[in-house]
Amino acid sequence: MHIFSTIIENIDHFILTDQIIQEFERSREGVIKSVQQRFQIESKLENFSSSYLQNLEEFNELIKIQKLYVAQQKIVSSSIAEILKDSTKDPIANYFKEFVNESLKKDKVLYTTDDIVSKAVKRKNIGNPPTSNKFSLGDEINWEIILANIQEDIILVGRDNTYTNNLTFLQKDYHKQTGYDIIDLTERISVALERAGIKTTEALIKEEDKVIDDLKHYDDFWKYKAVE
């Protein structure tokens, strides 16, 4: 994938936390199961039979194609099931593993500490962003890790409502704690790369468009619904 290869090539420009690694590992199975379910529903063909049409050569050819389609569908379903059982067969997981390994080699992974957790709990209890109506502290921990470790301007990449709905607060919070700025918030890695002075390709942008479109089917994994 162009996106992952570009990230790995420019790994010094990305922030990776142990919390993000754990979140990926926790959500992988749920996302794949959703893909599996969606594939089964959307790839299903309705059977059609007709004694009248059976006399048409074109219809018989269509039946042959349908049988080939069903056979290939079963192969794809089997592949998804294998990926679900064995992460080494998952291309996305393999790219992410490479990203993590390269980050570890360069000592680029930022870690959670007891102090980070304590500050995250306080942020959650007060209700300061980034937070959600979930019981977990993932967003809060990631943010406190950033505040404790980063001393430069940053660009946030994501679709989570806790960031998109509270950008002004987060910009003030980040500047107060670090003296630096959040210069942009975007859901596109390509935009972040360009803002950082890294060239992107048309292939990467097309791939990104497809990923963003696919993510709309899995909003439960990436967004929380604001409490009204």
Kindly report, residue by residue over 41-77, the tens digit of the pLDDT: 999 988 888 888 988 999 999 999 999 999 999 999 9
Residue 181 confidence (pLDDT) above 80: yes
Would 49 be classed as within a structural domain? yes
Would 170 be classed as within a structural domain? no
Residue 38 confidence (pLDDT) above 50: yes
Would 187 be classed as within a structural domain? no
Would 156 be classed as within a structural domain? no
Ranking 43-57, 158-172, 189-203 by mean pLDDT, the lowest is 43-57
Would 74 be classed as within a structural domain? yes
Would 200 be classed as within a structural domain? no
Q: If you compute the radius of gyration of the chain from its CA atoms, what whole number of angstroms results?
A: 22
Q: What is the mean pLDDT of the chain?
A: 91
Whole-prediction pTM: 0.84
Give residue-wise pLDDT tens across range 10-19.
999 999 999 9
Question: Number of folded domains in the chain?
Answer: 1
Query: 22: domain range?
Result: 1-111
Would 1 be classed as within a structural domain? yes
